[in-house]
Structures are given as structure tokens and as C-alpha cells.
Chains A and B, each alone.
Chain A
Amino acid sequence: MKLFKSKKIFLLGFIFIASCIEDAPLDSLSPAGPYARSIDELFWLTFWIAVGVFVIVQGALLFSVFYFKERESSPDPKQIHGNNFLEILWTIIPVLILAAIAVPTVKTIFDLAREPEDALKIEVIGHQWWFEYKYPDFGITTANVLVIPEDQPVRLEMWSNDVLHNYWVPKLNGKRYLVPGQTTYLNLQADSPEEFWAQCGEYCGLSHSKMRGRVISMTESDFAAWVANEQSYAEKELPESSLAAEGQLVYLNAGCTQCHVIDGVWDVQGDRIAPNLTHFANRSVFAGAALKNNPENLTKWLANPAEIKPGTFMPNLELTEKEINALIAYLGTLK
């Protein structure tokens, strides 16, 4: 009983319980949509069967160790070489258990792969190390934050621009690879308006661990408003001699336009290799969702991107503090 009186044990237990309750944004066991839920049900079915097998086998093991342990009085055991009936039994019973799990497994595999009717199509393009999103129906290009309508299936058409990536929103569905030169598909659906975390699953080079994302589900009206706003272009003419106007000059002259696009400000044909910044200020995160979108983080990022994401394709432009502040002010206007 001394064990339970120990405060440390109590504290450890408390932390254990606390850490279970505490919200983990990438928790795969808290499904928030029908696809993730169907996986979750299958997982728990298997889990409890596995627990049953675990208890029986470990129970038999521990029982044998304690009961058949060598004692002075114990005689040498009978020399039993085997038992055909038992062999057949413990071959057939696992087969039957597995067959029982196999049926819902195969059904769920095909259910998850089926293209839902009336799904909103969104293209997901993997880059080292950020996700780009395109809404072909609306002509929208954005990055890092995927916005979807609540309670409506979304069909992701995905490919990669460079290496293999693995798109994962644990609360909405399992993972699916993004492969260069090949299109893969994944369905998402969220029950209610919420912000979810996404993460690249497959090792994709230096900053793989910082290839993250957010998925925001919205009510239908909010989503419509978001679409309308995303379709708008950025303001080209800014109030003269404002800090933001200075920032726009930095943006145009420092080299940012080599890789980035702000619709309405710099007319370019075709894609650029870096995220479209037209509505940058509306995104809660940036830099592959590795950083929250606030002036402090932007300062760090613009001063030396590779410091935060090793291997990044964004060069250190050797910006002065003044230029950085101006740029941040300008980026803040991109709503």
C-alpha cells in the first residue's frame, strides 16, 4: 500500500490522465467526420479482439511461469510431443476470427475509395514543404490552409510537384500519398465548423516534420463568403507614403515576385513555385503551417527562412529591419 501513498505515483497518474484528456490536434482517435468515423469503428473492433487474444495468451504465459516454475518437489514432467487436435484448433480459431474482421475491412476499403456524389473537387499539390490547394470550380489558388464546407463531402485530387508526400488530416480520414506524375484521391468530410490539423506523413526531406497544414470547415454561408473573398484580387493602389505601400515596393523589388504571386498586383502567366499570397493575411499559419501568422514569426521568417525550415527554397534576401517591417505591414493588408 506504500506505493499508492507516494505522492510521485499519484502525480504521475494525474499527468497520465491529464495527458489523455488533453486535446491532441492530430489525434486519430477523435474522428470528426464520417470517413474517419468508419475507420475508427473498425479500429476499435480489432482493438478489442486483440485485447481478448492478448489477455488469453499473456494469461497462459504468466500462469505457466508461476504455476510450472521449478520447485524442489516438482517431478520431471511428462514428455508430451504434441497434440494434433490442439494444432487444428489453434489454426482454425484464428482463421475464423480473422475472417470475421476481414468482412468489414474489405467493405470499408471499397466504401472509402468510392467517389462521393456531388463532392466538391479540390486539388492538392505537394511541395517541399507545404501543401498547395486549388479549387478548379472557383478558380482559387491558396496554400497551407484548406477551407471546406461543413457536412459536405470533399474529393481531393492530389499529386506532388517533387518528392512523395503523404496527406493526413487524422480527424477526417486516413493518409494518402501525393506522388509525382500520378493522381491520387482522398475524401474528406467534417461534421461541423472546426479547425483541424494536417501533417505530411511520409518522410520528404530536411523539413518533413515542418510540413503541416490546417483544414477549416465552415458553415455553407461562411464558405460562400470565403469563396467570394478569395476570388477577389488584391488592391494595387495603396495609400501613398503608408508603411504598407513601402512594403509593396519591397515586395515588387526585392525578388519576391520571382516565386510568389499576388493576384492583381503583379501580372504573371502560369504558376510560381511558392505559395500564392493574394489573401495571405486571412491564413492563420504560414511557412508550411510551421508558424502562426503573426508579426513576430514573420520577422523571424523573413530574416532567414532556412533557419526555420532547413532546405527551404526561399532564399535569405538580406532584408533590412525596416524592409521587413514594411513587408509585414503590406502582407497584413492582403485580406
Chain B
Amino acid sequence: MTKIIEPKKQSNIFKRPSSETGIWSWITTVDHKKIGIMYGYAAFFFLLIGGIEALLLRIQLASPDNNFLSAAEYNAMFTMHGTTMIFLAIMPISAAFFNYLLPLQIGARDVAFPRLNALSFWIFIFGGVFLYSTFLFGTAGAPQGGYLAEEVSRLGSAPNGGWFGYQPNAGFKYSPGTAMDYWAIGLQILGIASLVSAFNFITTILNMRTKGMRLMRMPVFTWMTFAVSFLLAFSLPIIAIALFYVTFDRQFGTTFFLTEGGGDPILWQHLFWLFGHPEVYILILPAFGIVSEVLPTFSRKPLFGYPAIVFAGFGIAFIGFGVWAHHMFASAISPVAQAGFGLSTMVIAVPTGVKIFNWLGTIWGGKLKLNTPMLFSLGFIGMFVIGGLSGVTHSIVPADTQQTDTYYVVAHFHYVLFGGAMFGIFSGLYYWFPKVWGKMYNEALGKIHFWLMIIGFNLTFGPMHWLGLQGQVRRTWVYAEETNLGFWNLIVSIGAFIIALSILVFMANWIYSKRKGPEAGFDPWDARTIEWSIPSPTPVWNFSKAPEVKSLDDFWHMKYDEDEDGRPVRKEGADALLAELEEEGLNPSEEIVLPNPSYFPIILASGLPFLGYAVIYKMLPLAILGTLLILIGSFGWGTEPLEEEFMEDLENE
């Protein structure tokens, strides 16, 4: 049925994997779609773990002076909640979208470096497993010279210095044990994964666009992928260096951040936030991209101000490197620095506002189809505006010195990263569900999910603004009854469980619809971008022949003309064209060459955790094992061609 050409001759010393189904087909795959799906499931798994950690935190805080968790457990839980949600949930779930959609949106057969793509996925998996192995092997305790009334439980033996790892508290003297080493080295490994994929995506976007796909014809989601990839490429080296410093301080007796040795703890803050603030935009820009795809489709209008949205996205990404010290307004920085970073923080509100107004311009005068993805995108705008406005109050430096380190900030960034990023991600998950599975999700369950989530979300994070202004500090294991914070903390905890319930509804919908959902059919949304011009689920070869793009929203213009009022009129041949596209998409007329699967990405990636353990436990055999795995992976990779030669070619020689 297919005309994919299978490799006929083994050109390599190692036997090439050939499974097309089953577990080995996933482990050895270099197909961007399979990798994207694996990214999605792995990220969702970590999202659930991070969510359970959050629920434990909320049980502890539901009443004043509670002792459901010990201090060590509470501190480990908030550290792991933050680290997990940022590095193991939202970033990789965005990567899932990048992987699956990017080649489809630019009309490519795969990313520029398919095996590198597999490598970044496996490094992410091994990094996550390494980080979480702290619950099995890690140790944590009181600062040197301090006392504990009870031994630290396994739950408390996770990293406990905060996801921000402020020095010297997260250094060896005040956080003895190995847990913080798992954190530092785990993030180091995860950073490699993101760097690798960043370069892959940049190259893909620059080189793999189909004919006619000029930059200013790219879908906004692709544009945001482009921006995020640059953010990753420029910000991750900073945290990589900072994490090396920390690891050296902890393991080898250097004093980068120790005052006693001439180091500076504030240096860590500068390095961390110089990475950490662009990181915020790494988390939110993909959601901007998703929403910019969903809103026009379900408004039946083109995106309002496409160039403005694109440039605003890059404006945000660029200015995002100049605002880091607003995380440090209470730190030892001078009033001049405070004023400068306060102003730059105000400036970044302008391009963000431009985006919001353009989204409003998109739905204004449209014909809004209020289905689940659209509801999540509209919810995204509403919630993100709240987070954006509370963000502006942080740029008012004196006011921020009251709000910083309180629940007001916790409320703010959850409105941005949950109400923003996660709502956008859910919108995208529903929007592209039929593309990925060829089935339609259940609309009723989707709407229940949305309403439960938006109610639970606001109940959880809305009152946190008030709690922060009333003096509840962050990372607070207990709060005194006299502070009168108990009532709203209880409400917040109830809200958290409503969110958990909504996630269960989402999972039920996903599992049910993937198996039993109705066939989605070709182009279920009457969509605008070319990933919908191919059958669903996406055939393994994506496009049976490279499409030629003539305009922005090319697929829409294949189907619609405009009348003299500027209203769309469906072309006469549109239905026939769609049928033709589906037929051609399923039965390619040309020979298709696909990159072959490979064992080497996973072998190479598997070496990294061993190097991590070797550093923590100073065990030479583990270092040798890790190095060998990396060398074998690299050598095999280097000697293996991306695509095997074919019988025909060989015969011609």
C-alpha cells in the first residue's frame, strides 16, 4: 500500500533496528511525530507527579500550625513541585507540540536532524529519571551543626533548596546530603536536552521550509517555536555555568558563592535569573503560539495584526533578557539598578499588551465557535491578563518590596504559567487531538474539564493575591494562627482539589476518545494552516509530496475566496480538492525516503546519568561506564548513515 522504500542492505557494522510496531519501534524511532507523542506522555506523567506534590503542599497549608508534612518534607515538596512543573512538565509538553507540529506547519518531512531529536528526548527522560531517583537514593538533613527531632523520611530526601536554589542555603554547608546534587546535576542534564532541541528547531525552521513558505507566511506557532529556540540557546548556557559552579562548590571545594572564600551569593541570583527570566518566556511563548492558531480558526477570521503579533513575540523574547533583576528588588541592588530594572519591566508589558489587543481584535466581529479548544484559548486571555496586570505591579519597585517572597507572587506566576501556559497547552491538546489520533474528543467532557478547571483555578490562585498582601510568605511550612490566614488557605486548598478533579475528567476524555471517539474526518475544523491539508492521523511521511505555499493561511485560501464585502465564499471545487488531498495524502505517488530508526540516541543519552552518579558518589567505575556508553553512542552514530542506501541505487552503481 505504501511506497516507502525499505533499506535493502546493511551498510553499518551494527545491525540497524527495523521494528515498525511495538516497544522497539518507539525506543529507536527518529520520527518527529512519535517523539512528540512520547514527549507529551512523559511530560503529562511528570505533570501528574508535580500535581500530587502540590496537593500535599495544599493539605499541609489547609489549616494553621498543621503538621501533616514535616518541615523537611514540605521543603522537598515545594522544591520538587517547582522544578518538576517547569523543567519536566511545561517545557517538555511544549517540546511535544514543537516536535509534532513544526515540520507539519512548514511542510517538511521531518526535523533537520531526526536522530538529534531522538537524542534530546532521551536525554530529557534520563534527566528526569535521574532527578527523581533522589527519592530512592538522595539524602537531606539539617544544616551542619543543626539538630533534627526525627530522621528525614524518603519523601523529605528530595532536593529542598527551592527550584531557584539560592546560595549559600543550597550549598553543601546548609544543605548537606546528596539531594541538592541530584537537583543541580539533574537540571544540567535536562538543559542539554533543551539545548539540543533548540538548535534542531532553529535549523529546521531556517532550512526545511517548503517551497513558498517564506518567513512571513509561517504560522504564528512556528514563529513562537523559533523565538523559544533562540531563548533556549542563549539562556541555557548561563544556567549551565551556574550549575557547574554549584556542583563544584558542593563537590570539589570551590567557593564561587561562599562569602568565606571570597565568593558572592548574589552572583548566583544574577546568573540564575538571567536564565530564569527568559525561562518564563520559554514557558509562555508556545502558549501564545497555540492561542494564535486556535482563535482565528474558531472565529473564522484571519489573525488580527499577524506581523504585530510576530514582532511582539520577538520583542518580548529580546526584552526578556533585560529584566532579570526584578526578581531581586529586595536583594542588595542599588536604587539605580532598581529603577532601571523597574522601567525595563514596565516596557515588556507593552509588546505583551499588543498581543492581547490583537487577539481581541481577532475575535472581534468574528463568528465564534465556543468549543473546548476555543474556551481554553478565551480562558487563556482572561487569566493571562490578570497575571500580566499583577506583573505590572511588580515593576513598581517599592510596592514589589512588599509583595516579593509572598503568596502575591505565587498567585501572579500561576496566573501566567497555569492560567496562561497550561490553558494554552490544553487548548492545543484539544485542537490538535483529531490531527494526532484521527478521532474526535468528547465535547461534553471537554467543556466539563474547562469549567471545572477555570473555577478550581480561580479558587486556588485568586485568594493567594489576598493572602500575600496579608503577609503570607512563600515557602512557608506553617503559619501562625494569629496571622488570620487560615480561612483563605482552606479555600485555596479546596480549589486545588477541584483542579485535580478536572484533570481526571481530561484523562478520562483522552483515554476514551482515543479509542472510541468518532472519526474526525479530513479537516474537522475548517482550519487555516497546512498541517490540516494532510490526512489524520498524520501519515508517517507527513506530506506525500512537498506542498507549495502561496500565502499566509495557505490551506484556508485553497478553500475560500472573498466576496466584495470581504466575506469568505467557499470555492466551488473546494470539496473535490479536499477529497483529492486526502486521497493523495494516503497514497503517495512518489517514492518516499524516510530517515531510518537508530539505537544510538538512547545509548548515548543513557550514559549521562551514570556520569551524574559518578560525580555525586565519586565512583570511577560509573564514570567509565557512562563515558563508554557515550562513546559507543557517538561512534555508532557517526558511522551510521541517516538513511540506508537502497537496492536500486546499489544496482545502478
- Contact B484 A19, beta carbon cutoff 8 Å: yes
**Which of A70, A108, A128, A203 has the most chain B CB atoms closer than 10 A to its own CB?**
A203
A315 at the interface (CB under 8 A from B): yes
Within B375-391, which residues are at the interface with A (CB < 8 Å)? 378, 381-382, 385-386, 389-390
Q: Do A108 and B368 form a contact, CB below 8 Å, given A46-B392, A61-B378, A61-B382?
A: no
- Contact B471 A312, beta carbon cutoff 8 Å: no
What size tier do the contact residues of chain B reach?
Answer: 35 or more
A28, A86, A168: the one within 8 Å of B357 (CB): A86
Within B329-369, which residues are at the interface with A (CB < 8 Å)? 330-332, 334-335, 338-339, 342-343, 346-347, 349-350, 353-354, 356-358, 360-361, 363-369
Among A171-179, A220-228, A240-248, which stretch is in contact with chain B? A171-179
A216 at the interface (CB under 8 A from B): no
Among A109-117, A133-141, A326-334, which stretch is in contact with chain B? A109-117
Tell me, rounded to whole Å, the shortest Cβ–Cβ distance linking B264 to chain A: 8
B147 at the interface (CB under 8 A from A): yes
How far apart are the CA atoms of A103 and B153 in the complex, in Å?
52
A-side contacts of B302, CB under 8 Å = 79-81
Within B165-219, which residues are at the interface with A (CB < 8 Å)? 166, 168-169, 174-175
B159 at the interface (CB under 8 A from A): no
B508 at the interface (CB under 8 A from A): no
Chain A, Cβ-Cβ closest to B385: A57
- Contact A79 B301, beta carbon cutoff 8 Å: yes
Question: Contact string, A36-50, partner B, CB cutoff 8 A, digits 1/0?
Answer: 101100110011001
- Contact A43 B402, beta carbon cutoff 8 Å: yes
- Contact B567 A306, beta carbon cutoff 8 Å: no
Tell me, rounded to whole Å, the shortest Cβ–Cβ distance linking B637 to chain A: 43
A78 at the interface (CB under 8 A from B): yes
B224 at the interface (CB under 8 A from A): no
A94, A182, A304, A316: the one within 8 Å of B266 (CB): A182
B-side contacts of A312, CB under 8 Å = 146-147
- Contact A94 B142, beta carbon cutoff 8 Å: no
A26 at the interface (CB under 8 A from B): yes
Q: Do A182 and B382 form a contact, CB below 8 Å, given A26-B472, A91-B354, A175-B404?
A: no
How far apart are the CA atoms of A43 and B389 in the complex, in Å?
12
- Contact A164 B169, beta carbon cutoff 8 Å: yes
- Contact A54 B385, beta carbon cutoff 8 Å: yes
How far apart are the CA atoms of A77 and B369 in the complex, in Å?
12
Among B29-37, B70-78, B442-450, B603-611, which stretch is in contact with chain A? B70-78
Tell me, rounded to whole Å, the shortest Cβ–Cβ distance linking B306 to chain A: 7
Among B227-235, B474-482, B539-547, B645-653, which stretch is in contact with chain A? B474-482
- Contact B471 A311, beta carbon cutoff 8 Å: no
How far apart are the CA atoms of A87 and B358 in the complex, in Å?
8
**Which of B308, B401, B568 has the most chain A CB atoms closer than 10 A to its own CB?**
B401
- Contact B330 A109, beta carbon cutoff 8 Å: no
A-side contacts of B469, CB under 8 Å = 27-29
**Which of A36, A179, A305 has the most chain B CB atoms closer than 10 A to its own CB?**
A179
Among A145-153, A193-201, A230-238, A263-271, which stretch is in contact with chain B? A193-201
B509 at the interface (CB under 8 A from A): no
- Contact B142 A311, beta carbon cutoff 8 Å: yes
Tell me, rounded to whole Å, the shortest Cβ–Cβ distance linking A325 to chain B: 22
How far apart are the CA atoms of A113 and B329 in the complex, in Å?
12
Chain B, Cβ-Cβ closest to A93: B353
Question: Contact string, A146-189, partner B, CB cutoff 8 A, digits 1/0?
Answer: 00000000000000001110101010011111011110100000
Tell me, rounded to whole Å, the shortest Cβ–Cβ distance linking B311 to chain A: 10
Q: Do A181 and B473 form a contact, CB below 8 Å, given A76-B367, A176-B401?
A: no
B-side contacts of A304, CB under 8 Å = 149
- Contact A314 B402, beta carbon cutoff 8 Å: no
- Contact A98 B168, beta carbon cutoff 8 Å: no
Question: Contact string, A78-103, partner B, CB cutoff 8 A, digits 1/0?
Answer: 11111100110011001100100110
Total A-B Cβ pairs within 8 A: 322
A-side contacts of B71, CB under 8 Å = 206-207, 209, 310-311
Within B632-653, which residues are at the interface with A (CB < 8 Å)? none
B-side contacts of A168, CB under 8 Å = 405, 473
How far apart are the CA atoms of A179 and B200 in the complex, in Å?
41
How far apart are the CA atoms of A212 and B483 in the complex, in Å?
12
Chain B, Cβ-Cβ closest to A208: B475
A-side contacts of B370, CB under 8 Å = 65, 69-70
Q: Do A90 and B357 form a contact, CB below 8 Å, given A79-B301, A81-B306?
A: yes
B-side contacts of A90, CB under 8 Å = 353-354, 357
A318 at the interface (CB under 8 A from B): no
A120 at the interface (CB under 8 A from B): no
- Contact B392 A50, beta carbon cutoff 8 Å: yes
How far apart are the CA atoms of A64 and B356 in the complex, in Å?
14
- Contact B346 A23, beta carbon cutoff 8 Å: no
Q: Do A311 and B146 form a contact, CB below 8 Å, given A108-B398, A166-B405, A209-B473?
A: yes
**Which of A23, A83, A109, A184 has the most chain B CB atoms closer than 10 A to its own CB?**
A109
A6 at the interface (CB under 8 A from B): no
A15 at the interface (CB under 8 A from B): yes
B397 at the interface (CB under 8 A from A): yes
Within A252-295, which residues are at the interface with B (CB < 8 Å)? none
How far apart are the CA atoms of A166 and B392 in the complex, in Å?
22
B-side contacts of A87, CB under 8 Å = 305, 308, 354, 358
B26 at the interface (CB under 8 A from A): no
- Contact B299 A57, beta carbon cutoff 8 Å: no
- Contact A106 B330, beta carbon cutoff 8 Å: no
Q: Do A310 and B366 form a contact, CB below 8 Å, given A46-B396, A179-B266?
A: no
- Contact A68 B265, beta carbon cutoff 8 Å: no
A105 at the interface (CB under 8 A from B): yes
A215 at the interface (CB under 8 A from B): no
Chain B, Cβ-Cβ closest to A63: B364
Chain A, Cβ-Cβ closest to B386: A54
Tell me, rounded to whole Å, the shortest Cβ–Cβ distance linking B152 to chain A: 9
- Contact A83 B386, beta carbon cutoff 8 Å: no
B166, B264, B265, B342: the one within 8 Å of A105 (CB): B342
B565 at the interface (CB under 8 A from A): yes
How far apart are the CA atoms of A70 and B363 in the complex, in Å?
11
B-side contacts of A76, CB under 8 Å = 300, 367, 567-568
A24 at the interface (CB under 8 A from B): yes
- Contact B361 A177, beta carbon cutoff 8 Å: no
A-side contacts of B398, CB under 8 Å = 38-39, 42, 105, 108-109, 112, 174
Tell me, rounded to whole Å, the shortest Cβ–Cβ distance linking A249 to chain B: 24
Tell me, rounded to whole Å, the shortest Cβ–Cβ distance linking A27 to chain B: 5
How far apart are the CA atoms of A305 and B353 in the complex, in Å?
52
Tell me, rounded to whole Å, the shortest Cβ–Cβ distance linking A273 to chain B: 9
- Contact B356 A175, beta carbon cutoff 8 Å: no
- Contact B369 A305, beta carbon cutoff 8 Å: no
- Contact A204 B305, beta carbon cutoff 8 Å: no
- Contact A22 B484, beta carbon cutoff 8 Å: yes
- Contact B350 A94, beta carbon cutoff 8 Å: yes
- Contact A109 B300, beta carbon cutoff 8 Å: no
B259 at the interface (CB under 8 A from A): yes
B-side contacts of A27, CB under 8 Å = 469-471
How far apart are the CA atoms of A217 and B66 in the complex, in Å?
31
B331, B385, B484, B485: the one within 8 Å of A179 (CB): B331
Query: Given A163-B169, A311-B142, 13 more contacts at CB 8 Å?
Result: A57-B385, A60-B360, A78-B301, A79-B301, A79-B562, A87-B305, A105-B339, A105-B398, A108-B398, A168-B405, A179-B332, A206-B143, A209-B473
List 11 interface pairs A-B (beta carbons < 8 Å), by A numbering: A39-B398, A64-B366, A78-B567, A94-B349, A128-B146, A166-B405, A205-B169, A206-B75, A207-B477, A307-B149, A316-B149
The 7 A-B residue pairs with the shortest CB-CB distance, nearest first, are: A26-B471, A174-B401, A181-B259, A201-B405, A163-B169, A82-B305, A311-B142
